[in-house]
Copies of this chain bind each other. A is one copy, B any other.
Amino acid sequence: MANNSVMEDTLKVLKDHKLRVTPQRHIILAYLASHHNHPTVETIRDGLSKELPNMGSSTIYNTLNTFVEHRLVVELQNGDGSTHYDYFGTPHYHAICTNCGKIVDVTYPGFSKDEKTLEERTADISGYMISGNHMEVYGLCPECQVKLGVKK
């Protein structure tokens, strides 16, 4: 389970966002901050079954929706039918495998600048007042390249 510093950090995050601190919120956020597995609601429920065996799915949905509204977390679809969640501690985007659904975080030096450029350009063109973006890149993960016998 999450170590103490993750628990302290996530507690601070909740307070900074003026969210009422409940055990459920705190543990779910700590789970997300310490796992980079892009879990679904079910994955989170299973992962926290020791700590909070009676936590209902509704609570997880409610909590995640709250986090998404506060921009602590982003939603991802990988084509398997349910939504995956990712703690957004540092700016990054996602590469998603079109065969197995595996999601990995990607970033590079200058990514934040590129993001900002895209947002400014979009504001100029569309007239929207931009508040965020999502970028996803699709392809075959290394394992599936081998599994399917494709060659580069």
| Copies in the assembly, this chain | 2
Give the docked Cα–Cα distance between A142 and B122 (Å): 13
A98 sits at the interface (CB 8 A): yes
Instruction: Assess whether B126 is in contact with A104, with CB atoms less than 8 Å apart.
Output: yes
Which residues from 31 to 85 on chain A have a C-beta closer than 8 Å to any C-beta of chain B? 77
How many chain A residues touch B (CB < 8 A): the figure is 33
A123 sits at the interface (CB 8 A): yes
Nearest first, the 8 A-B pairs at minimum CB distance are A130-B139, A128-B139, A127-B142, A122-B137, A133-B137, A95-B126, A129-B140, A132-B138
Q: List 26 A-B contacts (CB under 8 A).
A: A95-B126, A98-B131, A104-B126, A106-B122, A106-B125, A106-B126, A108-B121, A118-B135, A119-B137, A126-B137, A127-B141, A128-B137, A128-B139, A128-B140, A128-B141, A128-B142, A129-B145, A130-B137, A131-B140, A133-B136, A134-B134, A134-B135, A134-B136, A134-B138, A135-B135, A135-B136
Residues of A within 8 A of B (CB): 77, 95, 97-98, 104, 106, 108, 118-119, 121-123, 125-142, 145, 150, 152
